[in-house]
Amino acid sequence: MDTPKPLQKAAHLLDDLESIRQLLGDDNLQPPLLTDTVETASDEGQIPLLFDQVSGKPLAEAVEQPAPTPAPAPAPAATTTAQQAADVMLHLDGELRAAAQLIMQDVIDDFAPHIETEIKRRLDARMERLLSQYDN
Those residues whose C-beta lies under 8 Å from the C-beta of residue 115, and which sit 6 or more positions away, are: 10, 13, 14, 17, 34, 108
pLDDT at position 93: 93
pLDDT at position 17: 77
pLDDT at position 62: 46
CA–CA separation, 53 and 116 (whole Å) = 39
Helix pair 77-135, 6-23: axis angle to 10 deg: 130
CA–CA separation, 122 and 77 (whole Å) = 58
The domain limits of the chain are 6-42+77-135
Closest CA to 120 of 17, 7, 16: 7
pLDDT digits (tens, 9 = 90+) for 73-119: 555 566 688 888 889 999 999 999 999 999 998 888 888 888 889 99
pLDDT digits (tens, 9 = 90+) for 8-55: 666 677 778 777 877 777 666 665 666 666 555 445 566 656 555 555
CA–CA separation, 30 and 12 (whole Å) = 20
pLDDT at position 1: 46
CB-based contact 122:18 (threshold 8 Å): no
